[in-house]
Amino acid sequence: MRAGAAWVRVRREKDLDGIDALVLPGGESTTISKGLARVGLYEPLESFVQSGRPVLGTCAGAVLLAREVENRPVRSLGAIDVVAIRNAYGTQVDSFSAIADADGRYPGLECVFIRAPRLRDPGSEVEVLARVDGWPVFVRQANVMATTFHPELTEDLRIHRTLIEQISV
Ligand code: GLN
C-alpha cells in the first residue's frame, strides 16, 4: 500500500497466517457478512482480533467491528464497544467530505463519507480520535481502530501509518 506495507488479500482462513495487521475495507456490510459466513471467516477473524494484532475497519469494516449494528443488522465481530447505525446519513446525502475535529495527532483530517454509518454510545474502553458534527468518526479500542470514512480515498496516509506503526516487531 502507499503507506509502505506489503499486502495480501484475505479470502480464507489460511490467508490470515503470517500477516501482521488487517484492514476490513468498505463495501456493503450485508454482502461482506454473507461472504464471511460462507467461507467460515467469522471465527478466524475473532481470533485475529484477540491475538492483539492491529486491525483497521473502514466504513462497512467499521460496521463489522461494532458491538451492535442497527438498521438491517449484520453479524459483527464485537471488537469495538460501539453501536453502528448503517446508512445513517440517509439517501439524500450519501456522500460528502468534511474536516474532522480530531485528536492532536490528526489535525486537518479530511474524511470522505460514502453511505457511511454513524457510531453511537462508545463504551469507556473506546477512544474517540476524531469527530464530525459531534459524531465519532475515528475510534480505537485496544488493537482495533475503525473509521466511518474512507481514508484510502485521500492523500492523507496518517490512518494507515498508525496501523502499521502498531505492528510489534
Ligand atoms: N452503507 C454501507 C454498509 O452499511 C457502507 C458503505 C461503505 O463502506 N462505503 O455496509
Residue with cell 475495507: 25
Domain edges within the chain: 21-167
For β-strands 101-102 and 127-132, DSSP reports them as antiparallel
**Nine-digit cell string for 102:** 480530531
Residues labelled as active-site residues: 59, 150, 152
How confident is the model over 47-104, as pLDDT tens digits?
999 999 999 999 999 999 999 999 999 999 999 999 999 999 987 667 999 999 998 9
Contact, 129 vs 138, CB < 8 A?
A: yes
Mean pLDDT across 113-125:
97
The model scores a pTM over 0.75: yes
Atom of ligand 1 nearest to the CA of 59: 8
21-167: CATH class: alpha beta
Counting residues of the chain whose pLDDT is more than 70, the rounded percentage is 98
Ligand 1 pocket, residue 70 CB under 6 Å: no
* pLDDT attached to residue 2: 82
Ligand 1 pocket, residue 26 CB under 6 Å: yes
